[in-house]
Amino acid sequence: MACERLKGRKAIVTGAGSGIGAAVAARLRAEGAQVLTCDLKGEVDHLADVAAQGASADLVARAVVAMGGLDTLVPCAGISAFTPLEGHEDAYFERVFAVNVFAVFRLVRDAVPLLKAAGNGRIVTIGSTTSSFGDEGLAAYAASKHAVLGLTKAIAAELGPFGVTATCVQPGAIDTPMTAPAFTEMPEYKTFWENKASLRRLGEPQDIADVVAFLCSDDARFVTGHGLWVDGGAMARH
């Protein structure tokens, strides 16, 4: 890609072993950014559980050593599975929040001094359209993504005076390794989302990565503090 609008940026992307995270990391690098990637598995720079105590501080420290600084965060790590309320175990609910919410909070918290010092920091979180509507079997996931949206808005308000923007990308139904099992087991669910989208298709990881790259760039310097549906028009027809 000839465009280098992210040249000079130093980013951390979690959940970069596959799906949206992998696409985001590749896109940021293609636009000139340095990127430190992290995931539990896959071809990443650092293998780690982002929800583990101390993981975020370690990741920030590694970024400083590897890239000489840090000004961009894209925490993409996330988990989800269909789990009916009846029989829903506390441990699973807590694990979803540990990965989807607490890991995001800790990464941002531990990077705040560097983001402030950069003067033009960028934080792009990954929410979901389930922040705006419920879906059966996704109580933990929907609640966690609603929390991510609220957290992002609070971060934007607090760090805005230091030139840091924070925006939450809210994907619709995206064809990723995380969603593939549900679409395979329930073809009708896949068809539902394809038909619900105005564009009549599922999203691809690249659809999200392209938007994230924009939000990390100077082109989005006045965009902060809100969620952005990237769903092919699904919510417009909700």
Which one, of 152, 144, 154, 135, lies nearest residue 238 by Cα?
135
Catalytic annotation present for 189 = no
Query: 72 near 62, Cβ under 8 Å?
Result: no
b/e burial code for range 121-159 (CB count within 10 A of at least 16 → b): bbbbbbbbbbbbeeeebbbbbbbbbbbbbebbbebbeeb
Query: 28 near 9, Cβ under 8 Å?
Result: yes
The kind and range of the H/E element at 61 are helix 55-67
In whole angstroms, give the CA distance from residue 226 to residue 122.
13
- At what angle are helices 103-118 and 139-159 packed, to 10 degrees? 20
Residues 6+ positions from 155 with CB-CB distance below 8 Å: 108, 123, 164, 166
Burial classification of residue 119, based on how many CB atoms lie within 10 Å of its CB (0-12 exposed, 13-18 middle, 19 or more buried)? exposed
DSSP 99: I
Among 102, 141, 193, 214, the one annotated catalytic: 141
DSSP 173: S
Estimate to the nearest angstrom the gap between the alpha carbon of 9 and the chain centroid.
18
Active site members: 141
